[in-house]
Structure 1
Amino acid sequence: MAACCSVVCCAEETDSDKAAIVQFSNGCVRNADRLDFSMYKSTDEKNPRRKNRRMLVAESDRLSYVGNNFGAASLKCNNLCKYYVGVLNKQTMQMEVHSAQLFNMQPVIPGETADTANPQDTTQTYRDKVDSLIEAFGTNKQKRALSSRRLNQVGSDALHEAVARAANTVIDQKGLEALQQEVAETSSQGDMALHLPPCNADADKPEDVYSFDSLLSPAEFEALEEAGSKMAALTSEELQKMRDGEGRSCVVRLLERMPAEGEARDKKSRCAFYISLLLKLQRQRSINLKFGQEEGCPRIIQNKLLRTFTAETFKDGRVQNMVSSSMRVKIAAYCLALMLHMDHMTADLTLLHRDLGITEAKMIEVAKSMGLTLNKQPRVKAEDAALRDDHREASLVLPLVKYDQFMERRKRKKML
């Protein structure tokens, strides 16, 4: 049976009789027996603010530690709470309760002084003086704002220095004239070139200009086996439903033109599923981690879509994956590159821009940025209204076409 103990009230204690509870700011003490503790108190007993000041010193063979119950380094909890320590006498089983103070022990390195500020410093600006006042007498909100501003200032200075060093290194390696020529070529191509698939303009074959492996890696293509087989097994009624309701006419066209069997059929079905995911992603504002699960999207493909075609933003207290306008252009370019591989380096721009929900002018701009050759299909007689329209086609022909940058000028309205 466990022994019981009783609590004994001690006589009234003074501040000098309070127990000391210490914590070390730089770690935990392994051998507390090797520390020599000393307590010092203020000699000014008449001043009510200074007579309660205590300083605790702990000395070891390697380092000395100092803790105060006053000043900036002291723990504010001593003023907000009262702490007590119980000491149990195992012989009488009586516990004595004593008042306690908390001390934060910080190491003292010889040669370094704590007070580095010079009170007679006249070089401080008005901003520095206001910051000093905020540090001493400001509210918690003002102190947080001051800390945030200083962190941003340090980060901005470090960024400027890193950019300057990188710029000087690049200028030394390439030379100023070569860099100016590269900047001129990049600016002529526009910002859209940043969102195009990797391009090898010096390739000998059209298939190698926009390599299929750069669009879908072998591991990603292998993961689409099950989903591609389901796409290949769709019936004509399901294809018609997909064309009417879901806005994926270009995917339906790929599935209708698939070979009867072989590797080409398997490749087309897998790519058709991947393009359908891109079309669905194009119409989303923000997506979550459950995107594509209903269609049976593999995890590796889901990660690729989030990593390649979304931008992380902080909104409503959490990180969200947003599909920005620049990412929509990137999705259009990757869809176009995949459709080129599926249909002998030819793609229907009209069907694609309708499924993507973008304008025809934007789709043509993407095709021109990729260096594709544009032409129109001849008008045919058909019952389907979509087939009676003049469809624009884009084909990849070597060498790639370089289009002149067109700057549109709006006509001024005449004043009446």
Structure 2
Amino acid sequence: MAASCSLVCCEEETSDKAVLVRFSNGCVQDADRLDFSTFKNVDENNPRKKSRRIVVAESERMCYVGQNFGAGSMKCNNFCQYYVGVLNKRTLQMEVHSAQVFNLQPVIPGERTETAKPQHTAQAYKDKVDSLIEAFGSNKQKRALSSRRLNQVGSDTLHQAVAKAAGAVIDQKGLEALQQEVADIESQGSLASHLPPCNPNAEKLEDVYPFDEILSPDEFAALEQAGSKMAALTTEELNKMRDEEKSLCVVKRLENMPTVDKDRDRMARCTFYLSLLLNLAHQKIVTRKFGQEEGCPRIIQNKLFRTFTVETFNNGRVLNKVSTSMRAKLAAYSLALLLHMGHMSADLTLLHRDLRITEAKMVEVAKSMGLSLNKPARVKSGEAGLSQDNRHASVVLPLVKYDQFLERRKRKKMH
């Protein structure tokens, strides 16, 4: 009777992934004559480089090279998961290993050296001329040669120091974070790239900033349970939020909830999503636990990370950062959501306090969105609440186009 065979799954942490290779120029008839070698990246702390591998297959006549990164890598590794089974004849157990596929291409010897030959020849000729000047040149030529070599050494040292410092900064912050910081500086004068999708030719006010672009139907449906909890908050809990001056926009909307069930449910879901946006604007580094205590659905959490954070890494860890430009984007999307919650009108004063940004920055965001700004006249104390003194923004068709105004200070005359 034949012996039975059992399967054993091997963890990836205990062993590296198995290697599957295919040759781009044909099939190998005798694979035993090939010497295979695998090389990995030495930067284990960098999460984007620690999984890079290079496979080399050498024979007496040809050398084949393949890698799992760059332009020559196979895209199937990103879409499929490959496994290889290895039968242990002694224990009769089939060990299942995770695998990667490499495309091996032939490398012709001497091809790269011929490309670099003109530069090498020019460098050799320059060294020969310098040797002749050292042996037979005049004093003036020798002084010029010595000065040129000193300048070259100083320039090389400076380049090495700059490259080392730049590499340290890139390893600490990450290339994407540095690029985002540059984009933040360039986008301080223009917020067009961080505004929600706009339709200035819409016939209805509600269609200028479509609600589906802020919350898709699937995302809105996922907020049903969280919205019901938000609508069930008691008066004591709302008073506590008001006393702490925390999310005043949310408190105001919860105090004025509609009585119709459909409108009340819509307002509750939007209020919960608004509270997440305001809370996210207060963060610098966002962890994956964000929103879990409040009952945030996973689809909403992924949307927040994808739309309002920037990926960076530090000490081998991938981090999600809320940059300066992302705070401006949060302000724009929060304002657009408040417009739909308040019949296309929003209180800018409460919003900029909840976002913890300046009123001038909030007004700049509203002007970039083409909103009409108005500030009611002050009334005597006791006749109306403090909200009468707040600045409001509303959608008016056609949208307002503001001219960029650069203020110049007048010089004082000298007497």
Band the TM-score falls in, shorter-chain normalisation: 0.5 to 0.7
Residue correspondence of structure 1 range 118-157 to structure 2 within 5 A:
122-124=121-123
Question: Aligned pair 1:341/2:340, yes or no?
Answer: yes
Counterparts of 1:126 and 1:348 in 2: how far apart (Å)?
Answer: 74
Aligned residue in 2 for 1:237: 236
Are 1:349 and 1:394, in contact at CA under 8 Å, matched by a contact in 2? yes
Name the structure 2 match of 1:214. 213
TM-score (norm 2): 0.58
Please state how far the C-alpha of 1:252 moved relative to its aligned partner. Answer: 0.8
User: Who is 2:277 aligned against?
Assistant: 278
**Matched residues in 2 for 1:259 and 1:224: separation?**
18
- Residue 262 (structure 1) aligns with: 261
Distance in structure 2 (CA, Å) of the matches to 1:353 and 1:242: 17
The alpha-carbon deviation at position 193 of structure 1 amounts to 1.0
Match in the other structure for 2:316? 317
> Structure 2: how far apart are the matches of 1:236 and 1:387?
20
Whether the aligned pair in 2 keeps the contact of 1:189 and 1:405 (CA below 8 Å) is no
**Contact 2:376 2:388 (C-alpha < 8 Å) held by counterparts:** no
* Residue of structure 2 equivalent to 1:304: 303
Name the SS for the 2:263 alignment partner: helix
Of 360-369 and 240-249, more deviation after overlay is shown by 240-249
SS of corresponding position for 2:328: helix
SS in 1 for 2:406: coil
State the match for 1:228 in structure 2. Answer: 227
Rate the CA distance shift 1:125–1:226 in 2: closer, same or farther, 3 A: farther
Deviation by residue 1:354-378 (Cα, 9 ceiling, x = unmatched): 1111111111111111111111134
Q: Distance in 1 between matches of 2:371 and 2:113?
A: 69
Please give the per-residue CA displacement for 1:54-101, whole angstroms capped at 9, x wherever unaligned: xxx967xxx6679xxxxxxxxxxxxxxxxxxxxxxxxxxxxxxxxxxx
Q: Deviations over 1:218-268 (max 9, x none)?
A: 111011100100011111111111122252111111111111232111111
Which digits, 9 at most, give the CA deviation of each residue in 1:116-159, with x for residues without a partner?
A: 46599532489999xxxxxxxxxxxx9xx89x99xxxxxxxxxx
String of CA shifts for 1:164-220, please: whole Å, max 9, x gaps: xxxxxxxxxxxxxxxxxxxxxxx9995211111100001111100000000000111
Task: For 1:1-20, list aligned pairs within 5 A.
Answer: none
CA contact (8 A) 2:63 2:108 kept: no
Query: Where does the alignment leave 5 or more consecutive residues of structure 2 unmatched?
Result: 1-20, 36-57, 65-103, 129-159, 168-185
Q: Distance in 1 between matches of 2:112 and 2:340?
A: 69
Residue 192 of structure 1: aligned partner: 191
Separation in structure 2 between the aligned mates of residue 108 and residue 344 of structure 1, nearest angstrom: 67
In 1, Cα distance between equivalents of 2:108 and 2:323: 56
Assess if the C-alpha contact under 8 Å between 1:229 and 1:266 holds in 2: yes
Structure 1 residue 302 displacement after superposition: 0.6
| 2:269 aligned partner, one-letter code | R
Aligned to 1:377: 376
- Give the corresponding residue for 2:147: none
- CA distance in 2 between counterparts of 1:238 and 1:269 reads 15
Are the aligned partners of 2:375 and 2:391 in contact in 1 as well (CA < 8 Å)? yes
* Structure with larger RCO (C-alpha < 8 A, sep 6+): 2
Point out the structure with max Rg over C-alpha. Answer: 1
Offset at residue 324 of structure 1 (A): 1.0
**What amino acid sits opposite 1:361 in the alignment?**
A
d(CA) in 2 for partners of 1:232, 1:277:
15
How far apart, in 2, do the equivalents of 1:387 and 1:327 lie? 30
Letter in 1 for 2:363: I
| Code of the aligned partner of 1:233 | A
Aligned to 2:96: none
Report whether the alignment pairs 1:248 with 2:247: yes
SS for the counterpart of 1:314 is strand
Once residues 319 and 283 of structure 1 are traced to their aligned partners in structure 2, the CA distance between those partners, rounded to angstroms, is: 20
Which residue does the alignment assign to 1:360? 359
- CA separation in 2, counterparts of 1:227 and 1:36? 61
Contact 1:380–1:387 (CA under 8 A) maintained in structure 2: no
Please tell me the residue identity of whatever aligns with 1:302: Q
**Contact 1:380 1:388 (8 Å CA) reproduced:** no
What is the Cα deviation at residue 315 of structure 1?
A: 2.5
Q: Give the secondary structure class of the aligned counterpart of 1:296.
A: coil
1:295 counterpart residue number: 294
CA distance in 1, matches of 2:413, 2:389: 35
